[in-house]
Amino acid sequence: MNNIKLKQIIIDVLKADERLWNEDKTDLNQTLLLDLVENIDEKLIELLLQEKELRDKFFVKIKDVYVFKTNDFRFFIEENKVDNSYTQYKNRIGLTDGKRFLKDTNDVVLNWPYKDCVLEGGQSTEEGLDTYFEYSEKTKSYEEKQAKRKEIFFNSVLAHDEIDRLFDHKALTNWKRFTKDGEQEVGEIKRDEDGTIRENLIIKGNNLLALHSLKKQFAGKIKLIYIDPPYNTGGDANIFTYNNTFNHSTWLTFMKNRLEAGKQLLRDDGFIAIAIDHCELLYLGVLADEIFGRENRLGIITVVHKPGGRNQEKFFSSSNEFMLVYAKNKFIANFNSVALSDEIKERFDLKDEKGNYRLINFIRDHIDNLREKKPNFWYPIYISQNLKEISLEKKENFIELLPISNTGREMSWKTSKETFMEDFQNNEIVIKKEESGKIIIYRKFREWQIIKTFWNDKRYNSTHYGTKLLEKIIGRKSVSFPKSLFIVYDLIKLTTSKNDIIMDFFAGSGTTGHATLALNKEDGGNRKFILVEQLDEHIEICNERNQKVLAQENIDDSFIYFELAKWNETAKEKILECESLEELKAFFDEMYERYFLNYNLKIKEFKGKVLQEENFRNLSLDEQKKIFVAMLDNNQMYVNKTEMADKKFGINEKDQNLTNQFYNSEK
């Protein structure tokens, strides 16, 4: 048997061992193969023994035992490597020491890479669907059908000397201001006295790069980060997509880099809340513990968002998801005293400039609070005839009150003398005269409840207060499964004050912006939101929703929208839009003439040889697209601020001026 045929038999046999192949089983990991051979791997040996040709070639039978001829097999693999111009070309991309291809030198280069999920190959809504037409023999016609999208993700491995450039401030374009009256031009960007930007912001672009562009302006200034990332619920395709079919390790890397960047933006007394379901809950918890500190994990909240559960589940019908809540430093962070439940809020039926409250008698009427048990809380209070003045010293014509119950028992007041006087001066004490003429001292009890880790209020139903609410606002169906407005609303109410900044860098349909505006309207706050989103269909809904909230609720506020200026990102999008290899080939000329490609790309070789090779043509379209995207220079996906004046990028003077104003810098 010739070596070519024998090599093909080996390849066919080894495809049963998933350890040795990439996802599409197009690249054999020959280094790992030889390592397994060296260690006499039981699974590998068993596979080889199953084929008669391989038994005869690489094993010797001694009595009833087959002995593996390790050296013969190693020699054969070394001499007959699975190689062709396509794989040679593919393996060259990125494998350099900055001057030469590693394959062209005997040097050993140690360059620790930065693996990150920066370059999404395409994202869709969580349950994104593609429409297609299929011929039916039954009806003798084409029928419209839908299937879950399968999009590709391009993981990026970068050397450390490339990271600074990748995360440099980006140029910002397409500026717009939205008010209740519609779209306006952006003039001045408002700032606080300390220079902090005081605007609601909606930003389109890669969220990791956006976070680094925001870092200088907002580091240590965000009170709350709420995110609803892709849940990674799994699927048939073993690829990284926004449809929740991530490779597990890639998803963790994706989350790790964004959580680390987000942490830098949080105030020391700030909070982060991450929505997730059971699929990645345990792993996300370990990751977030590492980043924020296990000691800062405040709780894992169970949110009943779909009380009826999901239909057609084989095992459990999921009716809940989770929210991991961390403080940046729990020793200085504090929740607000608020009531989240409608039932509890109704008890606080009075309101002043500080918020809602109810009145409670200032006397402690319980057996544990008898005078003899709490002597320091027994003291007279003297009240003027008009009930407007008080004293702890006896005064002429003032009425003396003591903590005596209706049954005549000597009890105690709720606070000490000093605290009582402070409360009175702070307008926390109310004195009333009943119809009987009896004078009662009340203390204001502010809106408050024990915040439990089980959120089961009907307002958290994502169908009624997510999907249907969004449809009502914009007048049509749009994003699948938006969060209930009130999950985010209650979280903001619990963790922020009236002038704080809230961030969401998986903005989706803009629920976090809506919740911020709604709470501001209720309590007169001036909180600001920062939303980041990459998908076209999401950003359009996000803008429309929040503008209509301003208009429908007659809110005198606004938000600014802008985009990270794209360059190679545009080329990547065009690659994704191609529907065949022929379209990819047609785009290649524009690609190398207009965009920034890896300097180690051999255009003539790829165009004249690799594109014509059968091995390349036999790849799936997704894999072909990955090769095209791998040619793009990862550091040029967006335009850096320092290069925005270059005319080839086409960034107008207005956008350049606003970019400089945003970064608080001169040209």
The answer to which of 130-134, 293-297, 472-476, 628-632 has the lowest mean pLDDT is 130-134
Which position has the higher pLDDT, 108 or 278? 278
What is the pLDDT averaged over residues 263-292?
A: 95
Q: Give the DSSP per-residue string, 181-211.
A: TEEE---PPPB-TTS-B-SEEEEES-HHHHH
Is the pLDDT assigned to residue 279 strictly greater than 80? yes
Please measure the distance between the N-terminal and C-terminal CA atoms of the chain and give it in whole angstroms: 72
474 with 381, same domain: the answer is: no
Domain boundary at 18, 48, 82, which? 82
442 with 467, same domain: the answer is: no
Q: Is residue 358 part of a domain?
A: yes
Q: How far apart are CA 31 and CA 33, in angstroms?
A: 5
Q: Is residue 573 part of a domain?
A: no
Q: Which tokens go with 503? A: 């961030």
Is the pLDDT assigned to residue 262 strictly greater than 60? yes
**How many C-beta atoms lie closer than 10 Å to residue 220's C-beta?**
12
Give me the chain's average pLDDT, please.
Answer: 84
Q: Which tokens go with 55? A: 């038994």
Number of domains in the chain: 3
Residue 127, pLDDT score = 41
207 with 275, same domain: the answer is: yes
CB 48 within 8 A of CB 54: yes
Q: Is residue 541 part of a domain?
A: yes
Which position has the higher pLDDT, 343 or 94? 343
> Containing domain of residue 215, as a range?
154-335+455-564
Residue 20, pLDDT score = 85
Please state at what angle helix 70-79 crosses helix 3-14, rounded to 10 degrees.
Answer: 110
501 with 438, same domain: the answer is: no
Q: Is residue 640 part of a domain?
A: no
Q: Is residue 600 part of a domain?
A: no
361 with 319, same domain: the answer is: no
Residues 26-80: pLDDT tens digits?
677 777 888 888 888 888 998 999 888 898 888 888 878 888 888 888 878 866 6
User: Which of 564, 569, 657, 652 has its CA nearest to residue 203?
Assistant: 564
Residues 214-258: pLDDT tens digits?
998 999 999 999 999 988 776 443 333 343 445 677 788 889 999
Residue 299, pLDDT score = 96
Residues 82-121: pLDDT tens digits?
544 555 555 555 444 444 444 445 554 444 444 454 444 4
Residue 81, pLDDT score = 61
Top-confidence range, 214-228, 308-322, 331-345: 214-228
How far, in whole angstroms, is CA 361 from its chain's centroid?
47
Residues 138-197: pLDDT tens digits?
775 556 665 554 445 555 555 555 666 778 899 999 999 999 999 999 999 999 999 999
Which position has the higher pLDDT, 85 or 634? 634
What is the pLDDT averaged over residues 292-317?
A: 88
Residues 391-414: pLDDT tens digits?
999 999 999 999 999 888 999 999
Q: Which residues pair with 302 in a beta bridge?
A: 322, 454
Domain boundary at 446, 474, 504, which? 446
β strands within 590-640, DSSP E? none
Q: Which amino acid is at 653?
A: E
Residues 469-495: pLDDT tens digits?
999 999 988 777 789 999 999 999 999
441 with 490, same domain: the answer is: no
186 with 302, same domain: the answer is: yes
DSSP state of 465: I
402 with 424, same domain: the answer is: yes
331 with 462, same domain: the answer is: yes
CB 11 within 8 A of CB 51: no
Q: Is residue 586 part of a domain?
A: no
Q: Is residue 145 part of a domain?
A: no
Give the global pTM: 0.74
Is the pLDDT assigned to residue 134 strictly greater than 70? no
204 with 276, same domain: the answer is: yes
Q: Is residue 149 part of a domain?
A: no
Residues 8-34: pLDDT tens digits?
888 889 888 888 887 666 677 777 888
Domain boundary at 44, 65, 82, which? 82
388 with 479, same domain: the answer is: no
Q: Which CATH number belongs to the domain containing residue 505 in this structure?
A: 3.40.50.150
CB 173 within 8 A of CB 651: yes
What is the pLDDT averaged over residues 117-141?
A: 50
Helix (H) / strand (E) element for 514: namely helix 511-523
Q: Give the DSSP per-residue string, 111-159.
A: --EEEEEEE-S----TT-EEEEEEEETTTTEEEEEEEE-----EEEEEE
367 with 388, same domain: the answer is: yes
